Each structure stands twice: as C-alpha cells, then as structure tokens.
Amino acid sequence: MSKKTTFVLIAILLLPAGPLSARPLEAVPSGWRFAVEEYRLNNGLRVILSTDETLPLVSVVMAYGAGSIREQQGQVGLAYFMENLMFQGSENIGPLQHLRFIQRTGGIVNAETTLDKALYYQTLPSNELALALWLESDRMRSLQITGRSLEKRRAELLAEHRRRLATEPYLESYSVFDASLYPDFPYGHPLIGTGGDLESLTEADIKAFYAGYYIPNNAVLAIVGDIQIARTKELVARYFDPIPPGSAVSPPPRPNFEQRREVVRTMHDSSLPSPGFHLGYRLFPPQTGDVYTLKILEYLLFRGRTSRLYTRIMKKDLTAYDFYGGLEERRGVLALKAFALNTTDVLAERCQKAVLSEFEKLKVGVVSEDELNKARRLFKLDYLRRLSTGLDRALYLVDVAFADIPLKAIPSELDKYMKVSSQSLNLLANRLFVPANKVVLNIRIR
C-alpha cells in the first residue's frame, strides 16, 4: 500500500505574529499563513504536519479514538484510567520517565480524555522532535500494564476523585443533569462517576481497551512547529512504521434517545451551600449549518459581560450570584446548557424564568445587526486564538480530523460562522427551544 499525501495551504488572519516563509496567496488578507500536509502510514496512522518558524519549538499531539464513548456498562472511568496508565512505563521507558524526559528539555507535557478521544501532547525544542516521537511510539507499541502499577494508580485516582467530590459540591449535580440530557449510556455517563466501576476494573479489561483502541489505525498524530517536512517524515516512519495495525475499529454508537415532552427533575441535598438549577436544550440530529448558528447563538446569549443572559441575570435582575453556560457538542449531539446558583429558592425560580424568557425572545424577535456583529467579533477573536501557538494549532488540527472535516475546508470554516444571519438564529431558536428538547434539574437544599 502506498502512502497518500495531501498538501493544503491554509491562510488565516491571526493575532499578531511573525510571518512564515510560505508564499502568500492572492486576494487573501495579510497575516499568518500556514501550510498543512496530511498522509497515512501503511499501518493506518493519520499524520498531519504544519510548519511554524516563529520559535524554535515543536508541538506533538497524539490522539486516539479512545474516549469515554468507548466504555461499556460497568466500565465507567476506564478511558480516564487508561490515560493515566499511559505514563506508567513501556518497554524502553520507566514509570513517569516520559514526563521527565520532556521536562529535562525545558518542554511541557499533558494529557486529557474527552468523550471521543484521548489526547497526549507535548511542546519542546524543535531539535528534540525525535525524542517526543520515540516516547509516543514506545507506549503505542509496548505499554507495560502490570498489576503493581495498575493498583497503585487506581488508588491514586480514587483518592483524587474523592477530593474532587469533597471540594466541588455541585459535581454530582452535573452527572445527574447530563444523564437526563443525554440518556444514552455512551453519551451521558460521567468521566469517572462515583468511582465504583473504577474499583472493579480488571487487568484484562484494561489490556483489552488498550489493544482495541490504542492502535495506529485509530490514531491521529499532529506535529506543528519549526520542522523540516522531509526530515519529520523520516522520523515518523522510523518510529511508527514498524508498529502493526490493530483490528478495524467500528464507529462509535449513534444516539438512540427520544423525548416527547420536557423533563424536569429536582435534586435535594442539604449539604450543598445554596440552591440553583441546570437547564439545557438538546438538538439531535442537527441540520446542515446548525453548529455554526448555535455557536453564534452561544456568544449572543452567554459570552462577555454585555451578552444577553449575563446582562439580564447578573446586572439587571440580580437573581444569581453565579451563572454561566454555553454550547456543548458530543459526537454530533448539540446542547445549549445553563447553570445558576442562587441564594434562595424564590430567586432560583425567578432566574430560571428569566433565562427562558430570553430564549423565547429569540423565537419572535429580530437580532439587530450591531448585536449580531458583536457576537461574531467575539467568536472570531476566540477562534483565531485557537491558532495562535503551535500547540493550539496542533490540537485544532486533531479536532478537525476527528470531526471528519477535510483539511481543504478549513479556510472556509470561519466564513461560515461569520455568515450566520438574524433569520437563521430565529429559525433555529424556534426549532431548538421546544419542550421536547428541554431538560431541567432543580437543585434544592431543603
């Protein structure tokens, strides 16, 4: 099988930064332009390369399609457990040595688990690229999962989770709310849950998860920074080509939930400091363009001190002492969520009615061009910030890959958000803000 290469030159106006050496495109605003090249190894590993000569640094992101959506009933916490075990040593690397090797170069390293993927990333001097690739390839090929390291890390994670439960009093309410908003187990269960499943996971469970999902044909490797493309390809081939592919990985399960009327539940917990509520509207399946409209809707309602809901709740009505929300996407399931903390039950009810009234206004009113432009500008600023460093760009490219967005479509992505109109907001609000999509969890302390 031959390696297929795709080369795309992407031009995006970023925050101030030094120019790259890529040749400018005609009729494109001046700014930072970056080239992106994509190809696959014979074992199925998807590789994305992008040069950035601004600083002598390189960011390496290895992402596996091994998020919590891959867990089965009785395995809640397995994906997160696996993320932590990836630092416990492989054939040529001792426990936690991955961290030490990167830190000795002056680099930084981190990891995170989401619904659909597990991310491992590091930024280090560009002349140390081979080190990062060797470290990542060794644990992809030969992670050491032993009873001793497993039990030690399990105990640490359980202790860490108990501390979170003790210091974040509303953590459980998020899990209860999400279970109603996303009633399918793969989409709605928390990253760790109560910790009960984590205690009962066996070595065989973990080894099966690793063998099934931590394989080259279920991974994306993104490398962004001061690199030479030809040399980088040589290094990638040296370290990853010898790793055999695993079995074919099936697509994650699709949602299979139906709600005919609004769901309203109440959670009583006298140990909580104050009452409040979670409120959300779920949209599935989304229509073409819904994600762009919903994102601008999020900025209109939630983002910034002049957004509609912040102005109404925190400045005008003064019904909450803490309030936030936004758009969430879980493998194509879109949800707009709000969370409020209030000093009394009465204020919690008033606050919830105010939020709902603002949603209703979007169904019947017209958003002015000035307000719409403000939301677009705020979104654009945040969008471009996602590309302002090598690590940010590498993480962005991984997200694009997992969202099945072709690289050649990236230059037009921002335009799609900027073209959201008042009419499209109105049409979506009428389709989204209906009882069949609505879930509420009231939090009461007596």
CB atoms within 10 A of CB 251: 7
β 33-40/108-113 pair status: unpaired
What local confidence, expressed as pLDDT, does residue 20 receive? 31
Chain-centre distance for alpha carbon 300: 21
User: Could you give the CA distance from residue 327 to residue 329 in angstroms, rounded to a whole number?
Assistant: 7
What local confidence, expressed as pLDDT, does residue 194 receive? 79
User: How are strands ordered across the β-sheet holding 276-283?
Assistant: 263-268, 438-444, 276-283, 333-341, 322-330
Q: Which two tokens stand for residue 276?
A: 């409040």
Kindly provide the b/e burial profile for residues 126-150, where b requires at least 16 CB atoms within 10 angstroms of the residue's own CB. Answer: bebbebbbebbbbbbbebebeeeeb
Give Cα separations from 34 to 5, 11, 319, 393 (angstroms).
17, 6, 47, 10
251: helix, coil or strand?
Answer: coil
Instruction: Specify the domain boundaries for CATH 3.30.830.10 within the chain.
Output: 5-240, 263-444
What local confidence, expressed as pLDDT, does residue 33 receive? 64
Q: Which two tokens stand for residue 287?
A: 């229509």
Can you name the CATH fold of 263-444?
Cytochrome Bc1 Complex; Chain A, domain 1 (3.30.830)
By the 8 A CB rule, do 354 and 312 touch? Answer: yes
Work out whether the CA dihedral 329, 335, 340, 344 comes out positive or negative. negative
CB atoms within 10 A of CB 235: 18
Backbone dihedral region for residue 331 (phi beyond 0: left; psi -120 to 50: alpha; all else: beta): left
Nearest to 387 by CA among 23, 31, 21, 1: 31
User: Could you give the CA distance from residue 337 to residue 328 in angstroms, rounded to a whole number?
Assistant: 7
By the 8 A CB rule, do 115 and 188 touch? Answer: no
Task: Dump strand ranges (E) for 373-432.
Answer: none
The architecture that CATH gives domain 5-240 is 2-Layer Sandwich (3.30)
Block residue for tokens 């390369």 = 49
Rounded to 5 degrees, what are φ and ψ at 110? -160, 175
Per-residue pLDDT of the chain (446 residues; tens, 9 = 90+): 445 555 555 544 443 333 333 322 222 233 446 789 999 999 999 999 999 999 999 999 999 999 999 999 999 999 999 999 999 999 999 999 999 999 999 999 999 999 999 999 999 999 999 999 999 999 999 999 988 889 999 999 999 999 998 899 999 999 999 999 999 999 999 988 878 899 999 999 999 999 999 999 999 999 999 999 999 999 999 999 999 999 999 999 889 888 889 999 999 999 999 999 999 999 999 999 999 999 999 999 999 999 999 999 999 999 999 999 999 999 889 999 999 999 999 999 999 999 999 999 999 999 999 999 999 999 999 999 888 899 999 999 999 999 988 888 888 899 999 999 999 999 999 999 999 999 999 999 98
Nearest to 69 by CA among 185, 161, 157: 185
User: Could you give the CA distance from residue 81 to residue 113 in angstroms, rounded to a whole number?
Assistant: 10
Block residue for tokens 């690229």 = 129
